[in-house]
Structure 1
Amino acid sequence: MSESCNSRHFSWLMKSCLPNPSDAKSLVPIHHANPPATVTPISSLPDDLLLECLSRVPSSSIPSLTAVCRRWSRLLLSPYFLHLRRRLGLLRHSLFAISAVDSGLFAAVLQLQSEIPSWRVSLAVCADGGQGSLSHARAAAIGPRVYVVSRNAVLRYDSWMGTVALRSPMIFPRKKFAIAVVSGKIYVAGGGGGSEVTAAVEEYDPEKNRWEVVTHAARKRYGCIGAAVDGVFYVIGGLKIGNETSVTSRGTAAHVYASSMDLFDVRSRQWLRSRSVPGGGCVVAACAAVGHVYVLSSHAVELSFWRFDARRGGGGGFGEWTRLKSPPLPAQVRLDGTVRFSCVGVEDKVAVVQVVGCIDDLLRRSGRSERGLRESLVLLYDTVDGEWRRAADLPEMITRAACACVEW
C-alpha cells in the first residue's frame, strides 16, 4: 500500500466531498446564518395591545408619554386606560382639594396610604382663563381628572399632568347644587340663582364635552348635596324656595327638605322613594363610601353622623339608617354661618373637611385672641373600626376648597 495518498484510489463519490484546491470559491466557508429578525415598533401595535403596554407604566412617566404623539395622548385620556390601571391595582385613591385664585388654581392632594400623610400642593394656570369665577364651586372626580363646576364655568384639572382646561358650562346656571359621578358621567341637580331654583337634572358626558337634561326633580332644592352609590344619584338636604304663602308652611317645607334626600336611578331614569334623615337636623355634608351614604347633620349646638345602607344587591339592608360616632371637633369651633363642612369618601375612609369662612369673625365671637387656630382641619372616619382621627390640616393657601376623591 502506498504511503502517499493518490486521488486515483478514491472513488468519484468521495472526491466530490473534498474541496478542489484550484477552486477559490470552494475554499470559502459556508455559514448558514438565521434570517434577520423582524423588529416591530410599539407604535405599530393596535390600540388595545398598546393600551395594555402603556397601562403598566409608573404614574410619574404618564406626563411624558402624552407628549409622544397625538395617538398616545388620546389613548391615555380614554376610559379604558383607567379601567386597565384600576384592574392592575395601579390607581391610588387620594383626598383632593382645589381653590381658585387670580393666578390660577391651587390644588392639594393628601395620600392617606402614606406612613405620614402630608399635602402636596401645586399651582395650575388655565390657559383659557375663567378660573376667577369659581365661587361656590363643586368638585367631581373621574379617575385622575377633577371637574370643578361653578355657576357659569367648568374647569377640568388633570392631576397627572397638572394642567387645567376650560369645558362646556351647565345648561342652567346654578350655585349651591348637588353633584355626583355615576358610571363615568357627572350629574347635577338643584341649586339656582336668587329665588329661581331649577328642577332640571343635567348629565355631563366628559368624552363629548356636552350637557343634557335627563329628568326633572319633583322638589326644587337649594343648597343641596350630592352622592352616588350603586347607580343611584342622591340629592340630599337643602332648602325649598317656592311660592308658599304661609310663613308656617315655608318653615315646615324648609325643615323637611333640609333633613331628607331624593333618589334618582340613573339607568332606569326613575325617581325612587324619598328618604328622611333621622334626627331632624339640617344636612351640612354628605358623601358615599363602601356602599353607604354618610350624612353629617347640624343641630345648632352639635353634629350627628349617620350612615344609610345604599346597597341594592339583595342583601336586605337597603334603606336602613345607623347613627355613628360624631366627629370630634375642637372646642373653639362653633356651628354657625362662619363654618362649613365637606364630606369625601376615600376608599374605606370618610374625610370631613371643616373650613372656617372668616377666622377673625370666629375669634371675635368666641372672645378669644390666641394665635395658632387653623382656618381648616381634616378629620378621618374609619368605616371599619368606627373611630375618628385627625389628619393634616388643609394648607393655608387652600381657601373655600372644593373637595373630591381622585384616582391616579
Structure 2
Amino acid sequence: MNQNKFTELLPGLPEDIALECLTRLHYSTHGVASRVCRRWCRILQSKAFYYHRKQTGFTHKTACLVQALPSPVESKPTGQPRFAISVFDLVSGIWDRVDPIPKYPDGLPMFCQIATTEGKLIVMGGWNPSSWDPIKDVFVYDFMTRRWNQCMDMPEARSFFAMGATGGRVFIAGGHDESKNALSSAWVFDISSNEWTELPRMSEERDECEGVIIGSDFCVVSGYDTENQGRFKSSAELYELSTAQWRRVEDAWGSSQCPRACVGVGKNGNLTCWAESDPNVKVGACGVDLGYRTLVTGSAYQGAPHGFFFVENNKKQGQNSKLTKINVPDEFSGFVQSGCCVEI
C-alpha cells in the first residue's frame, strides 16, 4: 500500500502509526469514521485500504445467507416464503439482517444468486417475487455505507446459473433462458467500471450448475443440458484467468444430485458434496467456508427442522470432520437457500 497517499491522518502521529489506527477500526464503525473528514472517507472507501486491512489480518469474515423469513405468528403461512439476507458473525456469534433492497422491499427476488469480492456483497438475477418473471437486476451492497447500489443489468435474463467473484469481478455461466433452454454462454462483470464483457462459451450447456472460486479461477460444477433435464453431469469446467480459456475437468462431481449451494472445496481443490457429509444435512444442504470453520445448514429429511452446524476445517481430516450443532435465534432458523463468506 502506498502510504504517501495517507499523510497527516491524525495530527501529532507519524503517518504509519495513524494508518494502523484506522486499520484496526472494526468495519461496523467505518460508516461513522468516514464522516470525520473527506480524507478519511476516501481512505476507508478505497480498494487499497481494503487490501491493506486484508493483508495485515484486520478484515472480518461473516456468513451471508439467503434465508427464508419467519411467517408472522398470528397468521398461517401462505404462498411462497419471503427471503432476506442474514449475516452471521463468526467471532461474536451475533446474527443480523441486511436492509432490504429498495427495489424489492418485501423480499429478495426468488432464486437470486449471491457472491462476494473485496468486502462487498453482490445479488444478481432471480425471479420477480410478485410476477415470477426472470429479472436481470444487479445490486451491490457496501457494508461500510450500509447501502445498496443498483448496477448495470445482466446482458440477458437467465435462471439457475453459476456465479462466482474474485478480484473485483463477477463471473456468471450456464443456467437457462426464458424458454428453459440450457445455456453454455458466460460473462464477467467489473464492479468498478460497471461493465459486462462476454467470455468464451463453455464446451457444453449446463443448467442448474454451481459456481465456485478455486484459487483465482472460476469453476462451473455439474449441471445438465436441455435434452437431459435433471441428469446432472459429473464433469465441471474451469475458467482460468491466466489463459482466459475454459478447461474441462472430468469426474469432478461425484454426486448424482444438484450441486447448488452444497459444493465443498477441499484443500487440494477437490469437490465434495455437503449433502452427503452427514445424515443431518441430507436435504437442502448449504455450506459456507469461514476459514477455520465451515457453517453447514440443512435438514435430515423433507419437512424436518432446519439445522445449523459447524465443521472444523482440520487440515488432516478436511471435510470428514464431524458436524457440531449450534443454536440460533428463532428468527434466523429458517431455510437457507444459498450463502457465501464475506470478508469485510
TM-score, normalized by the shorter chain, greater than 0.5: yes
Q: Taking every aligned residue pair, what percent have the same amino acid on both sides?
A: 20
Report deviation, 1:291.
Answer: 5.1
Pair 1:278–1:191, CA change in 2 (3 A): closer
Pair 1:60–1:112, CA change in 2 (3 A): closer
Selected match of 1:329 from 280, 284, 293: 280
Q: Where does residue 134 of structure 1 map in the other structure?
A: 109
Selected match of 1:62 from 30, 35, 45: 30
Q: For 1:201, give the aligned amino acid.
A: A
Q: Does 1:179 align with 2:156?
A: no
Q: Does 1:382 align with 2:318?
A: no
Report deviation, 1:289.
Answer: 5.8
- Distance in 2, matches of 1:383 and 1:162, equals 34
Selected match of 1:147 from 73, 98, 122: 122
- Distance in 2, matches of 1:219 and 1:350, equals 32
Which is strand-richer, 1 or 2? 1
Q: Does 1:109 align with 2:87?
A: yes
Secondary structure of the structure 2 residue equivalent to 1:342: strand
Summarize the alignment of residues 203-242 of structure 1 with structure 2, pairs less than 5 Å apart. 203-242=188-227
Report deviation, 1:227.
Answer: 1.0
Secondary structure of the structure 2 residue equivalent to 1:187: strand
Q: For 2:340, give the aligned amino acid.
A: A
Pair 1:240–1:70, CA change in 2 (3 A): farther
Are the aligned partners of 1:106 and 1:121 in contact in 2 as well (CA < 8 Å)? no
- Distance in 2, matches of 1:278 and 1:154, equals 29
Pair 1:291–1:141, CA change in 2 (3 A): farther
Pair 1:139–1:328, CA change in 2 (3 A): same
Secondary structure of the structure 2 residue equivalent to 1:353: strand
Pair 1:112–1:42, CA change in 2 (3 A): closer
Selected match of 1:124 from 99, 103, 114: 99
Q: Where does residue 13 of structure 1 map in the other structure?
A: none
Q: Where does residue 286 of structure 1 map in the other structure?
A: 263
Residues paired across the two proteins, number:
306
Q: Where does residue 79 of structure 1 map in the other structure?
A: 47
Q: For 1:107, give the aligned amino acid.
A: I
Deviations 1:35-91 (A, max 9, x none): xxxxx85399xxx97866633333342111223455543432322111110122111
Structure exhibiting the larger radius of gyration computed from Cα positions: 1
Secondary structure of the structure 1 residue equivalent to 2:220: strand
- Distance in 2, matches of 1:124 and 1:387, equals 35
Task: Choose 220-229 or 57-66, whichever is displaced more.
Answer: 57-66
- Distance in 1, matches of 2:254 and 2:67, equals 33
Are the aligned partners of 1:172 and 1:198 in contact in 2 as well (CA < 8 Å)? no
Summarize the alignment of residues 297-316 of structure 1 with structure 2, pairs less than 5 Å apart. 304=276
Report deviation, 1:210.
Answer: 1.9
Report deviation, 1:185.
Answer: 1.4
Q: Where does residue 402 of structure 1 map in the other structure?
A: 338
Q: For 1:270, give the aligned amino acid.
A: Q
Q: Where does residue 273 of structure 2 map in the other structure?
A: 296
Pair 1:143–1:296, CA change in 2 (3 A): same
Are the aligned partners of 1:234 and 1:264 in contact in 2 as well (CA < 8 Å)? yes
Q: For 1:406, give the aligned amino acid.
A: V
Deviations 1:89-140 (A, max 9, x none): 11122222134879x97433333345xxx34113413345577452111211
Are the aligned partners of 1:127 and 1:165 in contact in 2 as well (CA < 8 Å)? no
Deviations 1:123-174 (A, max 9, x none): 4133455774521112111243211122322222233443322222211211
The runs of 5 or more residues in structure 2 that have no matched partner are 1-6, 70-79, 127-134
Are the aligned partners of 2:83 and 2:110 in contact in 1 as well (CA < 8 Å)? no
Summarize the alignment of residues 10-25 of structure 1 with structure 2, pairs less than 5 Å apart. none
Q: For 1:354, give the aligned amino acid.
A: G
The runs of 5 or more residues in structure 1 that have no matched partner are 1-39, 243-249, 298-302, 305-325, 364-372
Report deviation, 1:274.
Answer: 2.1
- Distance in 1, matches of 2:139 and 2:67, equals 12
Q: Normalising by the residue count of structure 2, what TM-score does the alignment of the two structures yield?
A: 0.75
